[in-house]
Amino acid sequence: MLASPFPILFITATRIGDAVLSSGLIHRLSEEIPGARFTIVAGPAAAPLFQDVPGLEAIIPFEKSRDGGHWVRLWSRVRRRSWGLVVDLRGSALSGFLRRRRRAVYRRSPGPPVHKVIEAARVLGLQDDPPAPHIFVGEAAARQAAALVAGEGPILALGPAANWVGKTWPVERFAQVAIQLLGPGGPLAGGRLLVAGGPKDTAVLPALRAVTPRDRFIDLVGKVDLVTLHAALGSARLFLGNDSGLMHLAAAAGAPTLGLFGPSDEQLYAPWGDHGRVLRGARTLDQIRTLDPDLSQSICHMMDLSVESVLAASRRLMSETEGV
């Protein structure tokens, strides 16, 4: 006997990285609630992550406006429905005015901050067994990703962009690492270089195209949707990137992931999973804050992270994940 539909309104983050880190909750709900039907509210950049969620009824892109009118617009879209469950990771008051059987709303917890995966899991009382990030990949996206990465040799994937210059390791240093890893005698000798990014990240390409022959260069900067990109990153032998949504996409895909950190907190945003690692330069986050208290200035805070240390950490991670 088929389960009756169980409508779930799931309100998640604006940014891609935060949305990825909360995505395991949708996976868990899909597994545990027969007949789950999802309406997902997410920021415009993050919304495409959920295009292949099973039982998806609608995706509502949620763009903030200065006057707060975005909440009114969302209310007008969802108020007529009777929901089985409302999950609100934004901690708004909206769910209190909706017809629903149950609601789960983010509330700031006392005590020290925890990783964002655990923070999201607390909303559903799953902090002792937090669901790992999970992006559903449909057949079309899987086929496209497989075609993009088809070929011989291991793949080094790079995510050299970020949403702020302060978190961005210089692209020339990414190029130097790639040359060492892919060149003669390197652990990925004869392999391919995949560069990932969004439509606004094309400035990173010139410095990286010259690293490897054209037939071993995979340009996925602004070329594919997020789900296809996620699936393609799952084929990487190593992902190396700044703290960004791309880093979390790669880790969620199961790629050995080395995240480069400076002016962000790895206790909250480290790549999740057994194959995720973090590397930062000599300065702690607190030391960086002495120079840039609000973490808002146009200063690169990643200059103290050397090519040599990133190379060593990359080799170590590949050794630790050999044969996995």
Rounded-to-integer distance, Cα 199 and Cα 208, Å: 16
pLDDT tens for each residue of 83-92: 999 999 999 9
Which three-class secondary structure state does DSSP give residue 111? coil
Which three-class secondary structure state does DSSP give residue 47? helix
Instruction: Quote the pLDDT of residue 109.
Output: 85
Residues counted in the chain: 324
Give the mean pLDDT of 116-122: 97
Whose tokens are 């030391």? That residue is: 287
Cβ atoms of 194 and 260 closer than 8 Å: no
Instruction: Quote the pLDDT of residue 65.
Output: 79
Instruction: Pick the range with the lowest mean pLDDT from 29-33, 111-115, 225-229.
Output: 111-115
Rounded-to-integer distance, Cα 93 and Cα 174, Å: 44
pTM for the full model? 0.95
Rounded-to-integer distance, Cα 59 and Cα 61, Å: 6
Instruction: Quote the pLDDT of residue 3.
Output: 54
Average model confidence (pLDDT) for the chain? 95
CATH 3.40.50.2000 in the chain, residues? Answer: 6-122, 141-320
Instruction: Quote the pLDDT of residue 1.
Output: 36
Instruction: Quote the pLDDT of residue 137.
Output: 98
pLDDT tens for each residue of 147-158: 999 999 999 999
Give the mean pLDDT of 300-322: 97
Whose tokens are 């996206």? That residue is: 141
Instruction: Quote the pLDDT of residue 95.
Output: 85
pLDDT greater than 80 at residue 324: no
The domain 6-122 having CATH identifier 3.40.50.2000: the answer here is yes
For residue 2, what pLDDT band results from cuts at 50, 70 and 90? very low
Rounded-to-integer distance, Cα 134 and Cα 137, Å: 9
Query: Please, what's the largest Cα pairwise distance for the chain?
Result: 63
Percent of the chain predicted with pLDDT > 70: 99
pLDDT tens for each residue of 51-80: 999 999 999 999 887 777 888 899 999 999
Cβ atoms of 211 and 194 closer than 8 Å: no
Whose tokens are 């120079």? That residue is: 291
Axis crossing angle, helix 16-32 with helix 245-252, rounded to the nearest 10: 30
Residue 233, classified by CB atoms within 10 Å of its CB into exposed (0-12), middle (13-18) or buried (19+), is buried
Which residues, at least 6 apart from 47, have a Cβ–Cβ distance to it below 8 Å? 40, 59, 60, 61, 62
Instruction: Specify the CATH class of 141-320 in words.
Output: alpha beta
